Structure 1
Amino acid sequence: MRVAILLCLLFIRNGEGLDLVQDTEASGYSMQVHQLHSEDGYILIMHRIPYGKDETKTGPVVRQKPPVLLMHGIMGSSADFVNQGPKSKFAFVVADAGFDVWLGNARGNPYSRAHSILDPDNSSADFFNFSWEEVAIYDVRAMVDYILGATSSPQIRYIGDAEGGTWFLILNILKPEYNKKFQMAQLLDPVGYTKYFPSEELKLVADMIEPLYTYAQELGIAEISSLNIQENVTEIRVTGQVALQSIVSYIASLGGYRSMGTSLKQLVHLAQNIRDQSFRSWNYGEKINKQIYGAKSPARYDLSQVTVYTVLYYRKNNIFVHENDVKEMALNIKNAIAIEINGTYSEIDFVDIARTTIE
């Protein structure tokens, strides 16, 4: 009975919060749903809040608003900024501050769990064979271009939460021409350097995940989310899923999040960087690294390639990001500053962040 209850908790797909349009309109805001395609075939959904609450009450104000893309973290979705997670209602705060708010959804979460060819259920290994770089150079890039086209704006602003900031940095490093498409960026608890990674407990978890990834590949497990267990799965497959999902749920709970779905490979990429105290590309192992990178070790991400004015926010009590790592990242970005946020992020902090963006 106890095992059955655990399986139900871990693997029943969570539908709460998926109807963001209804939730948003109930809060007095209007929301649009936009569908776009990445260059490599993923079908992505963006949610848009074009007006603040007072404007929707009296009718839209016809004027150009600065567009801003809000990007969730590795296990999140656009719902994080509306009705879930530690940054709940942030999208409303930014909309009320005078922005045209676009909420992105990276491949693999419930809103962007589709592809023009690949089936996420029947072709899981192929569909979920992606990490940071694919999300950055395909998904975020497609979203930026779509917003610029839809708004006819010359630039957008960007707010990234945790790995949402990582994807921004990687995009501008690997596709430096995109630097000119951003007016500025604000990264909340940005994940990158790990030299001073603060949690010894999570370091141990990081050491565990990569061997589990190899095991998961043998079992055909590539996705982390609230999955439905197929009736014909073997006992060993269920055991593997429970082990992986338990780790993911544990990590998510530490940050106050709920895993909305992504590739296991993304989490393993993070684990590699924590273990190796390095901010770099996916590590295939020495043999394949030599073929792909021309060296035994993966290529390091060169933050000096980022020229966008960037504000990196950090908290001293964050178990995922150390202030010294954030400060060092800011030093290596040509036009960046690091700002401490006292305590946990709150609506007051968000208002201050929105005002900073306006200025």
Structure 2
Amino acid sequence: MRRYIIPQMLVAALVMALSWLQCSVRAATASRPGGICEIFVLPRGYACDERQVQTDDGFLLGVQRVSTKAQSGTTSRKPVFLYHGMLSGGESWLLNERDNSLPLVLADAGYDVWIGNTRTTDFSYGHTTASRGDQEFWDWSTDDLVAHDLPIMLQLVYAGTNQTAHFVGFSQGTQVAVGGFVEGHVLPYVDRVVLLAPVVRVDTIKSAMGIAAGLFLVDQMMLLARIWEFNAHLQSGEKLLNTICGYPNAHCYDDYISTFTGANCCLNETRRGYYEEYETQSTATKNLAHFAQQYRTNSFAKYDYGWWNNLFRYHSLSPPEYDLRRIPAMPMLLVYGGTDGLADADDVQLFLKSITFSPQELFLPDYGHLDLLVGTRSNVDIYPTVLDFLAKPDA
């Protein structure tokens, strides 16, 4: 048994028991025609069911459970929870061909796969009282995903399996997980951790969108203009992208993928039309603003509401930082690329220097941000290492 778990065993047992009761009351199997199961999983011959779980602030999250048909309904396999990045949902793991989609690769390896969807993504279920046109629906940032979304989804997995889960996150999903490790919200439910394109520190990002939002306060302009929802496909999003370019005829919208992520080496351009049927999805402008604040302040801190409101929320003039030194030693694998404009290699090194243990690393010099999610060679360059890491026995 791992030494880092021993001091937490009694507390974890109590928390898990309470969580099971909470999840059993607030979670339900959902019938969703046109959902992730129906579109991406069932046609490929896998078992899949849709779940819905409610956060304590009223959002109805979609979670999918995927397995091979031969293993459907069993609970002996280790669960793996996948959490997506910004501007996408759980479907982003399934946009490639069958042998190059991580949930299906994991299911073929015998894992019990669970896919999480953030609160306002297309394959979640909205809110108990607010609609998509309400400011309240978009009043959230990374802090809310740390405090509400990720914990309740991992509690759902534990309630359904009676096991801790391996965690695999991509992009913002990695930052949410790291925030949860710092706060302690998710530690009782997580075993091994894989961070793909880890966007934890964003001090030196190369993304044009990130730099512009950070330096030119584009995020604040949108909030002042009462634009609560951001989507590159909306008219407001297209105007924002072209404004960021700084050149009237540049039309950043035509290449918004590179605008957000930087260059990618290994995408299948013939599938771009298919990708764009589902990506990008909306996020909260406040969520973008939170990333921009982190870039401007060179810190992984909570959302800055201004010194007066910070006093009431945090009892300090400035927002507190997520103290990465509080993350306990755990089995962790970091996978990152040398040309990533968001999970910049220098920022990954800042993260590594900020924690108190040494994770396993897989560095791919030619890979960009999206190559780590929908790259054409993921099943050769990435997934074998991930499977080997997840299969290791506990020390």
Deviation at 1:167, TM superposition (A): 0.5
Distance 1:27 1:200, change over 3 A: closer
1:160-190 per-position Cα deviation (integer Å, ceiling 9, x unaligned): 001100010111222x153232112111111
2:240 aligned with 1:244, yes or no?
Answer: yes
| Residue number in structure 2 paired with 1:181 | 189
2:161 aligned with 1:165, yes or no?
Answer: no
SS in 2 for 1:110: coil
From 106, 113, 116, give the equivalent of 2:118. Answer: 106
Distance 1:199 1:36, change over 3 A: closer
Deviation at 1:318, TM superposition (A): 1.1
From 146, 166, 172, give the equivalent of 2:156. Answer: 146
2:128 aligned with 1:116, yes or no?
Answer: yes
| Residue number in structure 1 paired with 2:3 | none
The aligned amino acid for 2:282 is G
Separation in structure 2 between the aligned mates of residue 202 and residue 241 of structure 1, nearest angstrom = 14
Cα-Cα RMSD: 2.7
| Residue number in structure 2 paired with 1:333 | 355
Deviation at 1:133, TM superposition (A): 0.9
| Residue number in structure 2 paired with 1:282 | 303
TM-score where L is the length of structure 2: 0.73
| Residue number in structure 2 paired with 1:34 | 51
Distance 1:332 1:214, change over 3 A: closer
Deviation at 1:269, TM superposition (A): 0.8
| Residue number in structure 2 paired with 1:69 | 81
Distance 1:358 1:281, change over 3 A: same
| Residue number in structure 1 paired with 2:141 | 131
Whether contact under 8 Å (2:79, 2:112) holds in the other structure is: yes
Whether contact under 8 Å (1:327, 1:338) holds in the other structure is: no
Deviation at 1:91, TM superposition (A): 1.0
Whether contact under 8 Å (2:333, 2:362) holds in the other structure is: no
How many residues were matched structurally?
321
Deviation at 1:352, TM superposition (A): 1.9
Whether contact under 8 Å (1:312, 1:336) holds in the other structure is: no
The aligned amino acid for 2:46 is Y
Range with greater deviation from structure 2 (314-323 or 196-205): 196-205
From 337, 341, 344, give the equivalent of 1:315. Answer: 337
Deviation at 1:353, TM superposition (A): 0.8
Whether contact under 8 Å (2:335, 2:362) holds in the other structure is: yes
The aligned amino acid for 2:307 is E
Distance 1:59 1:323, change over 3 A: closer
Deviation at 1:61, TM superposition (A): 8.0
The aligned amino acid for 2:150 is V
The aligned amino acid for 1:166 is Q
| Residue number in structure 1 paired with 2:231 | 225
Whether contact under 8 Å (1:94, 1:351) holds in the other structure is: no
Structure 2 unmatched ranges of 5 or more: 1-33, 245-252, 268-274, 373-377
Distance 1:324 1:97, change over 3 A: same
Distance 1:170 1:74, change over 3 A: same
Separation in structure 2 between the aligned mates of residue 224 and residue 204 of structure 1, nearest angstrom = 15
SS in 2 for 1:111: coil
Deviation at 1:213, TM superposition (A): 3.6
Moved over 6 A (4+): none
Range with greater deviation from structure 2 (199-208 or 287-296): 199-208
| Residue number in structure 2 paired with 1:298 | 319
The aligned amino acid for 2:186 is Y
2:371 aligned with 1:350, yes or no?
Answer: no
Whether contact under 8 Å (1:309, 1:335) holds in the other structure is: no
Separation in structure 2 between the aligned mates of residue 145 and residue 201 of structure 1, nearest angstrom = 34
Separation in structure 2 between the aligned mates of residue 126 and residue 244 of structure 1, nearest angstrom = 22
1:241-294 per-position Cα deviation (integer Å, ceiling 9, x unaligned): 542365684544646783212211111111111122211111122332233333
The aligned amino acid for 1:126 is E
TM-score where L is the length of structure 1: 0.80
SS in 2 for 1:127: helix
From 174, 195, 202, give the equivalent of 2:203. Answer: 195
SS in 2 for 1:354: helix
